[in-house]
């Protein structure tokens, strides 16, 4: 089944991208890196500690299981990676996966709340939800009441936004009109951003869920994310994927939704935030597309004429050793030379032959001689490249079709 245009797609090892199969660029689907692919990659200082504490807590709560595991031998997992579940290795795997499972749960919770909020904006009534999500939706509903918001306040709702110039895309939770005269809270937010309460501001909004009670917390990457959306000149209508110009925005805020309440926080989205986002985006793209190969063996191929010289050098060294043991001097007809068709041997005893640099057309044709030549002679046989070698010319650089799972 063909993907819808600009559908977010998780590419293994490359994170989330928006791909448009209908638009081919250089023979490949037009692609945009997802804004959250970039902001999620930022090092969140608190995360390792949180993950470690969670795993240790889980271990303490399950001490008998740990003690039982220590009395067993590690099992051999089946081809699908399934183990016995009770040996030390299996218990370690289970407990160390705590933070990943928690993150998945949080992600799921976030998308369920987004879906329910979006439902209200589109249909004007609140959905009945999973009891686990309901407290979050109640808090979100409180937010809309406190700020005098109705579904009509939403100019854009869960819209895909695009920046073709910089090659990224994202899904903005909302572009919302906040009317300063609507409520006291709305007036405060408008005054915080515009310095004057008696206005209506058109703001980019992002909703974040947080499980921890009575503990609102905001992170710098939230500002980067909102600024990235604000700098998208285009938004897409999901009904027909038509493109429309993004409305002019006055600023941005995050609404953090917890089971016990919510908190609204404006974000600074000036040119410094924009510059920082672009830097992170370029750094992250380099990491994904060029990073691994920047220290890869295949990134530094030898010219064809020199292929196999390493193996040849090893063979020569071995043969020399054998010859020395047999007290023989290597000659042109000796087994040493016969075993080494490649011209690599640093042969001190043989004077350098004055041969013209050979035009080696094919790699297999290069080592035609069976004599042992000097390094200088061998190197002279390697023709200069027709074009300078750049990493862009290397095979497999960047994101290619084989990385995309359809
Ligand atoms: Zn096991």
Domain count, the chain: 3
User: Do 309 and 342 contact (CB within 8 A), yes or no?
Assistant: yes
Alpha carbon of 104 to ligand 1 centroid (Å): 24
Gap from CA of 70 to ligand 1 centroid (Å): 11
Q: At 262, which CATH number?
A: 3.90.320
Determine the distance separating the centroid of ligand 1 and the alpha carbon of 128, expressed in angstroms.
42
Residue 78 CA to ligand 1 centre (angstroms)? 10
How far away, in angstroms, is 93 Cα from ligand 1 center? 9
Selection from 185, 195, 204, 187 nearest residue 144 by Cα? 185
Together in a domain, 282 and 318: no
Same domain, 238 and 264: yes
By CB neighbour count within 10 A (0-12 exposed, 13-18 middle, 19+ buried), where does 18 fall? buried
Distance 184 CA to ligand 1 centre (A): 59
Walking along the chain (406 residues) 10 residues at a time, the average pLDDT comes out as: 66 83 80 89 79 91 91 90 89 89 88 91 88 91 96 94 94 95 96 95 94 81 96 90 93 95 96 96 90 84 75 77 73 45 45 47 47 76 74 50 42
What is the 3-state composition of the chain as percent helix, strand, coil, each rounded to the nearest 5? 40, 20, 40
Domain match, 227 and 354 both: no
Q: How many helices (H) and strands (E) does the chain have?
A: 13, 10
Please report whether residue 102 resides in a domain: no
Question: Position of tokens 């054998």?
Answer: 322
| Ligand 1 center–CA 69 separation, angstroms | 9
Distance, CA of 275 to CA of 278 (rounded, Å): 5
- Domain co-membership, 277 together with 138: yes
Q: Are residues 285 and 147 in the same domain?
A: yes
In a shared domain, residues 219 and 365: no
pLDDT given at position 225: 96
Question: How much is the pLDDT for 388?
Answer: 67
C-alpha 98 – ligand 1 centre gap (Å):
17
**312 Cα–ligand 1 center, Å:** 46
Query: Does residue 290 share a domain with residue 374?
Result: no
The contacts of residue 186 (CB under 8 Å, 6+ apart) are 146, 147, 148, 178, 179, 180
Q: What is the pLDDT of residue 237?
A: 85
CA of 85 to the centre of ligand 1 (A): 5
Q: How far is the CA of 82 from the centre of ligand 1 (A)?
A: 8
Alpha carbon of 341 to ligand 1 centroid (Å):
52
Q: Are residues 310 and 351 in the same domain?
A: yes
| Whether residue 185 is found in the same domain as residue 283 | yes
Give the strand pairing for 242-245 and 251-258: unpaired
DSSP character string of 325-369: HTT----TTSHHHHT--SS----SSSPPP--PPP---SGGGS---
pTM of the predicted protein model? 0.73
Q: Which residue range(s) make up the domain with 59?
A: 46-96
Give the whole-angstrom CA distance, residue 133 versus residue 126: 13
Q: Is residue 392 part of a domain?
A: no
The rounded Å distance from CA 72 to ligand 1 centre is 9
């Amino acid at each position: 089944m063909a993907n819808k245009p600009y559908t977010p797609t998780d590419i293994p090892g490359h994170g989330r991208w928006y791909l448009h199969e209908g638009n081919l660029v250089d023979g490949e689907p037009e692609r945009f890196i997802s804004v959250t692919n970039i902001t999620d990659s930022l090092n969140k200082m608190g995360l390792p500690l949180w993950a470690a504490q969670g795993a240790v807590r889980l271990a303490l709560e399950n001490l008998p299981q740990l003690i039982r595991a220590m009395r067993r031998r590690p099992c051999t997992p089946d081809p699908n990676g399934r183990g016995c579940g009770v040996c030390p290795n299996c218990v370690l795997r289970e407990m160390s996966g705590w933070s990943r499972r928690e993150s998945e749960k949080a992600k799921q919770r976030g998308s369920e709340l987004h879906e329910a909020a979006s439902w209200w904006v589109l249909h004007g009534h609140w959905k009945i939800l999973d009891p686990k999500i309901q407290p979050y939706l109640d808090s979100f509903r409180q937010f809309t009441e406190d700020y005098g918001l109705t579904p009509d306040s939403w100019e854009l709702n869960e819209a895909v936004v695009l920046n073709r110039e910089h090659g990224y895309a994202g899904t903005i939770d909302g572009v919302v009109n906040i009317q300063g005269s609507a409520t006291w809270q709305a007036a405060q937010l408008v005054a915080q951003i515009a310095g004057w309460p008696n206005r209506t501001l058109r703001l980019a909004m992002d909703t974040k869920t947080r499980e921890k009670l009575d503990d609102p917390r905001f992170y710098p990457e939230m500002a980067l994310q909102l600024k990235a959306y604000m700098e998208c000149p285009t938004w897409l209508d999901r009904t027909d994927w038509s493109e429309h110009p993004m409305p002019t925005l006055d600023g941005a805020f995050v609404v953090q939704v917890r089971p016990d309440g919510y908190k609204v926080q404006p974000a600074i989205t000036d040119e410094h935030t924009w510059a920082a986002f672009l830097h992170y985006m370029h750094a992250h793209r380099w990491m994904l597309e060029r990073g691994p190969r920047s220290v890869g063996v295949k990134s530094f191929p030898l010219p064809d004429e020199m292929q196999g010289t390493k193996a040849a050098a090893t063979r020569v060294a071995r043969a020399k050793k054998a010859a020395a043991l047999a007290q023989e001097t290597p000659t042109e007809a000796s087994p040493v030379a016969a075993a080494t068709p490649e011209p690599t041997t640093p042969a001190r005893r043989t004077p350098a032959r004055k041969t013209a640099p050979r035009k080696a057309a094919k790699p297999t044709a290069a080592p035609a001689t069976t004599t042992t030549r000097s390094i200088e002679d061998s190197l002279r046989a390697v023709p200069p490249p027709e074009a300078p070698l750049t990493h862009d010319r290397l095979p497999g650089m960047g994101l290619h079709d084989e990385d995309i799972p359809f």
